[in-house]
Amino acid sequence: MVDSQYYLPNDIGISALDCREACRLLSPKEQMYAHYLSRASWYGGLIVLIQTSPESANIYVLLQKMFCAQAPQQLEAVATAAGLSAEEYQAFLVYAAGLYANMGNYKSFGDTKFIPNLPKFKALVWESLAFKQSPGDMETLWGYCCELLYSLEDKQKQLGLGEKGISAYFSGNCCLEDAEFAQKFLDSKNLSAYNTRLFKTEIDGKRCYEVRLASSEVCCGKYEFEDSVFSVKRGDYAFLMEKVCQNLEKAKDYAANENQKRMLEEYIRSFTCGSVEAHKEGSRYWIKDKGPIVESYIGFIESYRDPFGSRGEFEGFVAVVNKAMSARFAQLVSSAEVLLPELPWPLAFEKDRFLKPDFTSLDVLTFAGSGIPAGINIPNYDDIRQTEGFKNVSLGNVLAVAYATQKDKLTFLEENDKDLYIKWKGPSFEVQVGLHELLGHGSGKLFVQDDKGKYNFDQTAVRNPETGELISSWYKGSETWDSKFSTIASSYEECRAECVGLYLCLNKQVLSIFGHEGEDAEEVVYVNWLNMVRAGLLGLEFYTPESKSWRQAHMQARFVILRVLLEAGEGLVGLRECTGADGRPDAVITLDRSKIYTVGKSAIQRFLCKLQVHKSTADVEGGRALYEGYSAVTADGTHNFLHLRETVLLRKEARKMFVQANTYIKGDAVELVEYEGSAAGLIQSFVERFPDDAEEVEAQLLQMTCMDSSCWYPSEIIISNYYQG
């Protein structure tokens, strides 16, 4: 019997992102700018299919062909004729919606595979109009993906490197040692891994690596490195990169100012020739573009899903500023220079100068990628963040629907905490997101010695506050936070930012900025801390015992914080197992609000200082020992976390999916088309997303994925799959 965690439930939450009013307020020029940026984002977002798994693009094309021939409502009659029950057809729609929402068949939040919860998928394909119109093509397409569609072999259950899982950032024969060796090569050539993938072969007993850079131009260079040969090949996702560039070029005609034009020019240069340096230059102009009405960012951004932590997943977003909420964030930015000294590390460990960023609340029009976050702090380039600045955004219309909670589905809390939690979860999370993004990701200095030997700190004076000794390690040359801390970098940094949020939400000035005073302010603090420890327990869903690995950076971070607060003792946090009202295993987590400002604050203060010191000084060994120690999930000690994980899985709730609008040019105007918040609505939004060139896009996706399929699975298995299907 298949574990239910690999199915998406039929009653999964699906909500439409409301952006009509925000778009209505845009001028015609701003609407055109937003439209073409959205088109660039949607084309680029298809790259995530190729980045996620070898089969994702094939499944996407199969579904697109079925739904383009028959809308979900029309296909329902076909499903009935094929012998599917109403529940099975709903399971099919939910699977399809999940594939679109995650841009692949692995969950964007947790990285586990999900499979169709119906045995008659093939029967539905064969009965569909798409099959009757092109039986040969559909049969071949089914053959390419039918086995991998359902396969739950150990390695295919989750994303990972080597034997730990599947990763389309690396060919199937790569392991951690290959990733580390390739990083050494990239560092030697001063190349970033952000927009690359790595493929390994062996010729005459010699290791040969192909580093593919995303670009519309195609070219290749070869290099001898130690005992191996590296080919650096530009042109990965060339067709899609060209589509991105074409739409950015059109957007440029509607840019509001010179910074936006220069930004787009650099992005186009980056996506044309595969230059991360050009993208960094574009990001500099983006930072300078203060307070735009239409905000956007695009490229290979977040490295959460690269098992090595260095390669960025493509994403692009377009959003409209919410002026009322942005005013609060602007006030927080103005207070940052007063709040930063409150953080528990010496002044020398803080940036020399706080570069006040834009911090805006946005209503999302388009967010193309594998998922939509609640807030973002970008760019991720350390050298720019340290000396030139960054921007923070909170995604208001996402927050409005993503974190609404029903009392009967609220797990692991005492009854008297549930009403408080529901009332204050939204306001407290808004405070946490603001602090996390601005003063979490935006704080802390990295000690660096550049290529010319120049230090950005006084090596004769800066002391480690933990030992009292002069610091003895730092970043050298082209080393970055991601390249040094690699596999733990993302989660460690999220943990640091979450701790900053917990620590500074105790500050009355912060709470006042968000409009919380007196008793209300205390409720916000209590629910923020309660939400964090509950999230730490929920995080166990994203731990894989077989490989002893975590699949989600934020949830690992929250589990680590739970461990720190449990370790603080004195009754601050309580966690006990019990039997629920339904007779099944359950658990309850409690927080003593009277000890938050004493026991809790001291524990976070000590831990946060350690996190920052290891990060600032490039102390990988110390940082890894600290972080992996708290990340360990065992049956030992006071709490049997492995057993608690089973309880969490038993009672878990699926993450919501979002339906997004499309925009079209009608004459001289932009038309916004919205869809209902359902699986059928989400599917229809994708069916109508590429109206002019859907067949060409699908053909190119198949070409890209089939060309490399043997890098993960023997070609004879891929080709013969349909006979077994």
Mean pLDDT of 63-86: 96
Give percent above pLDDT 90 in the chain. 85
pLDDT band at 2 (very low <50, low <70, confident <90, very high): low
Regarding whether 562 and 447 lie in a shared domain, the answer is yes
For residue 113, give the nearest of 166, 76, 71 by alpha carbon.
166
Q: Is the pLDDT of residue 402 over 90?
A: no
DSSP character string of 78-90: HHHHTT--HHHHH
pLDDT at residue 466 tops 50: yes
- In this structure, are 591 and 707 located in the same domain? no
For residue 714, the model assigns a pLDDT of 65
- Mean pLDDT, rounded, for 316-325: 88
Catalytic residues: 437
pTM comes to 0.85
**566 lies in the same domain as 456:** yes
pLDDT at 716: 41
Tokens 């992996």, located at residue: 628
Asked if residue 312 belongs to a domain, the reply is no
Residue 306 in any domain: the answer is: no
Same domain, 698 and 556: no
Q: Is residue 647 part of a domain?
A: yes
Q: Please enumerate in sequence order all residues whose Cβ is within 8 A of that of 350, keeping only pairs 6 or more positions apart, or say none.
A: 340, 341, 343, 443, 444, 445
Over range 518-528, report the average pLDDT. Answer: 97
Say whether both 413 and 547 belong to one domain. yes
587 in the same domain as 693: no
Instruction: Give the residue from 195, 215, 163 showing the smallest Cα distance to 310.
Output: 195
Give strand ranges (E) for 399-535.
448-449, 475-476
> Mean per-residue pLDDT for 548-554?
93
Is residue 258 assigned to a domain?
no
pLDDT (0 to 100) of residue 484: 93
- Measured distance CA(36)–CA(181) in Å, rounded: 40
Q: Is the pLDDT of residue 146 over 60?
A: yes
**Among residues 124, 65, 60, 122, which one has the least CA distance to residue 96?**
60
Domain boundary (635, 651, 667) is at 651
Assigned domain for 194 exists:
no
Number of domains comprising the chain: 2
| Same-domain pairing of 563 and 424 | yes
Domain containing residue 703:
14-19+37-158+675-711
| Residue 582 and residue 493 share a domain | yes
Q: Answer whether residue 612 is part of any domain.
A: yes
Q: Cβ distance 642 to 544 under 8 Å?
A: no
Under DSSP, the state recorded for 654 is P
Tell whether 632 and 680 lie within a shared domain.
no
Determine contact, residues 212/199, Cβ cutoff 8 Å. yes
Binding site members for Zn(2+): 436, 441, 494
CA distance 32 to 666: 11
Q: Provide, rounded to the nearest whole percent, the portion of the chain with pLDDT above 70.
A: 98
Does some domain include residue 288? Answer: no
Please state, in angstroms and rounded to a whole number, the distance separating the CA atoms of residues 96 and 14: 13
Q: Which two tokens stand for residue 510?
A: 């912060």
- pLDDT-based confidence at 355, cuts 50/70/90? confident
DSSP 309-325: S-PPEEEEEEEEEEHHH
Instruction: Detail the residues annotated as belonging to a binding site.
Output: 436, 441, 494
Place of tokens 């499903």: 79
Phi and psi torsions of 371, nearest 5°: -175, 170
Read off the pLDDT band of 725 (50, 70, 90).
very low
Residue 306's nearest CA partner among 449, 166, 440 is 166
User: Picking from 172-176, 228-232, 333-337, 531-535, which range would have the lowest pLDDT averaged per residue?
Assistant: 333-337
Which one-letter amino acid corresponds to residue 613?
Answer: V
Do 606 and 471 share a structural domain? yes
pLDDT over 70 (residue 717): no
Q: Are 452 and 597 in a shared domain?
A: yes
DSSP string of 276-309, one letter each residue? HHHHHHHHHHHHHS-S-SEEEEEEEEE-TTSTTS
Q: Which helix (H) or strand (E) holds 641?
A: helix 641-650
Residue 96 placed within a domain: yes
